[in-house]
Amino acid sequence: MASRVSRFFNLALLKISISVLLILSGLFLLGNRVLVPIIKVQAEVKASAPVKTPIASSDALILSASDEKPFKFDELGGNFIKDSDNAENELEDLPVSDLKPVRKRNLPEYFYLTIPKLEISGALVEINSGSLDPAETLGHYNGSCLPDEACGVFIYGHSTYSDYENKYEDGDYRGIFSRLGELEYGDEFYISYNGSEYRYLVDTTKIEKPEEINPLENPYADKIGSHESSVVLFTCTPPGTTKYRLSVIGKLVK
């Protein structure tokens, strides 16, 4: 009888121990993969707004829980003007709606983005996109430059939780930029446009608040010879949240 009671007690103790371990593991994962990254981004933004430094490591990868609610890049819906030597960047407070396409020249409907490190190959980018919710393609901000012009291309796309399986090849672009923060200084990416291929190297990264974004701003306006061909890859950060924006900036390799 005593032996049976002892076995029952040991089994109950084992179950309790396993339950406690599972709870502790869950709390650790929640803190490490969700809370800590969010606190880290907030600290970076408060320390320097905007944060603008060379990407030196994959520390920019930030994990978060999924946010399934429909989301638009409303901050891109205003009336921006390009920066110049004699004028500050301005944004009129206009009602936010889907963008109205601005066609320049006789343009194709798409160009194509390849980022080998992120296993993205030939992703569709809608030229002069008319949507603030690029769910079926990436968006090229209307009025920003094209790859064959000596100025800045602005490409925006969604990100979601870190474990999201990228389904852009099936036409689902809702998480295509979830791993954008993994890109490091010197990483390559490519754009195929109008029969030509353009190669870029990652140069810098910025974390900003949505209201600080100007998609027509020259990333290198403070440098001599600033009229360089560049690309901004733009998404939300941490992935799955919408409080901050991540811009990864690449320079054209000549």
At 48 the pLDDT is: 43
Q: Is the pTM of this model over 0.75?
A: no
The span from the first CA to the last CA of the chain, in angstroms, equals 84
At 112 the pLDDT is: 98
Show the 3-state SS of the chain. CHHHHHHHHHHHHHHHHHHHHHHHHHHHHHHHHHHHHHHHHHHHHHHCCCEEEECCCHHHCCCCCCCCCCCCCHHHCCEECCCECCECCCEECCCCCCCCCCCCCCCCCEEEEEEHHHCEEEEEEEEEECCCCCCCCEEEECCCCCCCCCCEEEEECCCCCCCCCCCHHHCCCCCCCCCHHHCCCCCEEEEEECCEEEEEEEEEEEEECHHHCCCCCCCCCCCCCCCCCEEEEEEEECCCCCCEEEEEEEEECC
At 234 the pLDDT is: 96
**How many other CB atoms are there within 10 angstroms of residue 61's CB atom?**
17
Spatial CB neighbours of 79, under 8 Å, sequence gap ≥ 6 = 91, 92, 94
pLDDT in tens, the chain (254 residues): 556 556 666 666 667 777 767 777 776 665 555 555 555 555 554 544 444 434 333 333 333 333 455 578 888 876 664 543 433 344 343 334 444 445 456 899 999 999 999 999 999 999 999 888 999 999 999 989 999 998 899 999 999 876 678 889 899 999 999 999 999 999 999 999 999 999 999 999 999 999 999 998 888 766 645 567 899 999 999 888 888 999 999 999 97
